DNA sequence: TCGCAGTACTTGTGATCACAGTACGGCGAC
DNA sequence: GTCGCCGTACTGTGATCACAAGTACTGCGA
């Protein structure tokens, strides 16, 4: 499961674009992709983190990644820099980087921010969603429901993500959407770890209720109810992590945050 | 005023630490600073942006900055990368970076996020602030009030910032604090531009009311009132920018967002 | 006088090299 | 046998070089 050893990492493919499914474009002859190597490396590692190809706590070294990706170290070091700034990765005292193991408090605070921002977005979506956007949300919801539970946990997580962002896009606040996105990436590795260890069955069942409530609230233009449903969904994730951390403190052991040693 | 020409930029000084005043440490023998050149460059440029040493819209080139800072291009290019990820700087189609000129919508959405997050923090501060933290907040308030209006607008902005963050630190949510900080840096250049053009007098007078209300609310443990005061303060900034943009559309002219050309 | 092409220069990107700091192993002394 | 030292291997950092893409300027020709 974890990509710890020398399992070959596929070369970054040009089709591996951002983490959100791009909206279908109707206009032809859109500008061709002219991205840099560094950008591809960045997106590839980011995707790997979302997909839990790296384990929380795992240390990533520049040269090894460069070798596995078939590039020099330059694109990799800059990609890791970027991920560190986003706090998707964590700086060790040796200046190596690792996948963070979020403490209960950190996870809770990120979830708190998510509740505030995403609740706001859900409220706006209920007010503003167009018919087309509503259809997208419903499609995402169906996709989530139809995800086979025994399938890779990342699939459930992926569908869950797409459902949420289908809602948030309907709020028509692109700048705020960009603030929310990194919060998901930060939670990603730890959340997926939860999926794997706890079994996706129970989690999916819990989320389904909130999803249905959110969907209906948006369809019926009830902003407060939409906000409430999304907040409840996030709160459930937060509390699940709290509980899990308490019960498996040893698993998340090891030297916790690097910064703890600083102050 | 603007640092457009060849005005020498001071070498990054080891004392130029973060943008927040560090809390006084009581324990001796804290770890010595062991930061990298890149980090100093990053903080120096970041500080320069907050202080409005660069004008919104101004293009920054790696080699020129490197020369002015007296380093090779390596630390500078990574510092600019980091600032771009934080969206403090903006990528041009040529892959140069420039100081963003926030559109009215972007500024409004960032302020909306700030109202949600910082309002939350103000509420918590009113619930949790210790006597010592309250003293820090009051000191910051006095410092803001005593700032001479004709002095550099950046001083007012600096004091304002310190007052706000004195409150937020009393919420005891470091992770969320880290989410708020980059929002201030993003707003920085455009806000200070506002100060300069509009005159700090009026702005300071407006903020003073909100500050006093927030301070009293925290002192008297009224969380809802504290949140309200902070939100009102941010909303005033947001609306001032909206108005200013409408009236000075030509000043902020030029090709707006780069991404506008992409879709 | 206008328009176009060619050139020189500036820009960011990526690769390679040199270096300093750290971690970890073995080896020797007590 | 255990503790401490030392050397090796490895890691990130910073500098320099090579290159491709873009821009602006200049000069030639219509």
Q: What is the pLDDT along chain A (263 residues), one digit of tens a residue?
A: 344 333 334 433 333 333 333 444 444 444 455 688 899 999 999 888 877 788 888 899 999 999 999 999 999 999 999 999 999 999 988 889 999 888 888 899 999 999 999 999 999 999 999 999 999 999 999 988 887 766 666 778 888 889 999 999 999 999 999 999 989 988 877 787 777 666 667 777 778 889 999 999 999 999 999 999 999 999 988 988 888 887 765 555 443 333 333 32
- What's the token pair of residue B121? 């923090």
Phi, psi of A220 (to 5 degrees): -95, 10
Q: Helix/strand/coil (H, E, C) string of A197-256?
A: HHCHHHHHHHHHHHHHHHHHHHHCCCHHHHHHHHHHHHHHHHHHHHHHHHHCCCCCCCCC
Closest nt to residue B72, judged CA to C1': D15
Give the side-chain half-sphere CA count within 13 A for A165. 21
Q: What percent of chain B has pLDDT over 90?
A: 45
Q: Distance between CA atoms of A78 and A87, rounded to whole angstroms?
A: 14
Task: Name the minimum distance, in Å, from the CA of B110 to any CA of chain A.
Answer: 7
Contact call for A82 and B85, based on CB within 8 A: yes
Max alpha carbon distance in chain A (Å)? 55
Three-state secondary structure call for residue A194: helix
Give the side-chain half-sphere CA count within 13 A for B85. 21
Instruction: Judge contact between A157 and A186, C-beta under 8 A.
Output: no
Closest nt to residue B65, judged CA to C1': C11
Contact call for B81 and A86, based on CB within 8 A: no
Q: Which of the two residues, B71 and B17, has the higher pLDDT score?
A: B71
* Tokens 């167009």 sit on residue: A130
Strand partners for B60 = B97
- Predicted confidence at residue B258, as pLDDT, reads 34
Concatenate the DSSP letters of all residues of B103-147 into one string: -HHHHHHHHHHHHHHHHHHHHHHHHH--HHHHHHHHHHHHHHHHS
- Predicted confidence at residue B33, as pLDDT, reads 55
Three-state secondary structure call for residue B219: helix
Asked whether the predicted pLDDT for residue B238 surpasses 60, the reply is yes
- Predicted confidence at residue A128, as pLDDT, reads 92
Contact call for A112 and B120, based on CB within 8 A: yes
Three-state secondary structure call for residue A90: strand
Residues B119-164: pLDDT tens digits? 999 999 999 999 999 999 999 999 888 877 666 667 788 888 899 9
Does residue A36 approach strand D to less than 7 Å at its CB? no
Does residue A234 approach strand D to less than 7 Å at its CB? no
Helices of type H across chain B: 37-50, 62-69, 73-85, 104-128, 131-146, 153-169, 174-198, 200-219, 223-247
Q: Distance between CA atoms of A255 and A165, rounded to whole angstroms?
A: 34
- Predicted confidence at residue B101, as pLDDT, reads 87
Q: Which of the two residues, A188 and B103, has the higher pLDDT score?
A: B103
Q: Distance between CA atoms of B39 and A105, rounded to whole angstroms?
A: 27
Q: Give CA B37 to chain center in angstroms.
A: 23
- What's the token pair of residue A60? 């990533």
Q: Distance between CA atoms of A122 and A231, rounded to whole angstroms?
A: 9
| Nearest-5° Cα angle at B234, B229 to B237 | 130
Residues B165-223: pLDDT tens digits? 999 999 999 999 999 998 998 887 778 777 766 666 777 777 888 999 999 999 999 99
Q: Helix/strand/coil (H, E, C) string of A19-76?
A: CCCCCCCCCCCCCCCCCCHHHHHHHHHHHHHHCCCCCCCCEECHHHHHHHHCCCHHHH
Secondary structure element (H or E) that encloses residue B91, with its range: strand B90-91
The nucleotides of chain C lying under 7 Å from a protein CB are 10-17, 22-23
Give the side-chain half-sphere CA count within 13 A for A32. 1
Q: A102: closest CA among A262, A263, A244, A261?
A: A244
Rounded (10°) angle between helices A37-50 and A174-198: 50
DSSP letter, residue B5: S
Q: B32: closest CA among B14, B10, B47, B20?
A: B14
Q: B230: closest CA among B240, B243, B216?
A: B216
Cα Rg of chain A, angstroms: 19
Q: Distance between CA atoms of B188 and B156, rounded to whole angstroms?
A: 12
Q: Give CA A51 to chain center in angstroms.
A: 9
Cα torsion angle, A48, A53, A56, A58, sign: negative
- Predicted confidence at residue A235, as pLDDT, reads 93
Instruction: Judge contact between B69 and B41, C-beta under 8 A.
Output: yes
Instruction: Judge contact between A226 and A134, C-beta under 8 A.
Output: no
Task: Name the minimum distance, in Å, from the CA of B63 to any CA of chain A.
Answer: 18
Q: Which of B9-23, B70-84, B130-144, B174-188 has the lowest mean pLDDT?
A: B9-23
User: Per the confidence metrics, is the pTM higher than 0.85?
Assistant: no
Instruction: Judge contact between A218 and A226, C-beta under 8 A.
Output: yes
Given pLDDT bands bounded at 50, 70 and 90, which one contains residue B56?
confident
Does residue B73 approach strand D to less than 7 Å at its CB? yes
Strands across the sheet containing A97-98 = A59-60, A97-98, A90-91
- Among the partner-chain residues B81, B105, B262, the one whose CB lies closest to the CB of A175 is B105
DSSP letter, residue B260: G
Strands across the sheet containing B59-60 = B59-60, B97-98, B90-91
CA separation, residue B14 to residues B18, B20, B34, B43, B71 (Å): 11, 15, 10, 10, 15
Task: Name the minimum distance, in Å, from the CA of A106 to any CA of chain B.
Answer: 6
Contact call for B105 and A31, based on CB within 8 A: no
């Amino acid at each position: 499961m974890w990509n710890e050893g020398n399992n070959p990492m596929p070369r970054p493919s040009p089709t591996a674009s951002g983490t959100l499914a791009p909206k279908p474009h109707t206009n032809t002859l859109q500008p061709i992709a002219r991205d840099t190597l560094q950008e591809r490396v960045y997106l590839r590692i980011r995707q790997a983190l979302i997909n839990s190809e790296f384990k929380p706590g795992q240390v990533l070294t520049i040269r090894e990644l460069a070798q596995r990706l078939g590039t020099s170290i330059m694109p990799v070091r800059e990609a890791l820099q970027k991920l560190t700034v986003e706090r998707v990765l964590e700086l060790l005292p040796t200046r190596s980087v690792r996948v963070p193991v979020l403490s209960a408090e950190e996870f809770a605070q990120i979830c708190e921010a998510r509740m505030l921002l995403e609740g706001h977005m859900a409220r706006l979506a209920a007010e503003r969603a167009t018919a087309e956007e509503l259809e997208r949300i419903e499609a995402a919801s169906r996709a989530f429901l139809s995800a086979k539970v025994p399938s890779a946990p990342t699939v459930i997580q992926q569908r869950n993500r797409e459902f949420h962002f289908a809602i948030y896009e309907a709020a028509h606040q692109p700048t705020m959407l960009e603030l929310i996105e990194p919060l998901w990436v930060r939670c990603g590795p730890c959340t997926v770890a939860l999926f794997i260890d706890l079994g996706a069955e129970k989690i999916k069942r819990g989320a389904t209720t909130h999803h249905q409530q959110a969907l209906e609230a948006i369809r019926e233009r009830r902003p407060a109810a939409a906000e409430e449903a999304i907040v409840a969904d996030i709160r459930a994730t937060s509390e699940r992590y709290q509980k899990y951390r308490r019960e498996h403190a040893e698993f998340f052991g090891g030297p916790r945050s690097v910064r703890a040693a600083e102050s």
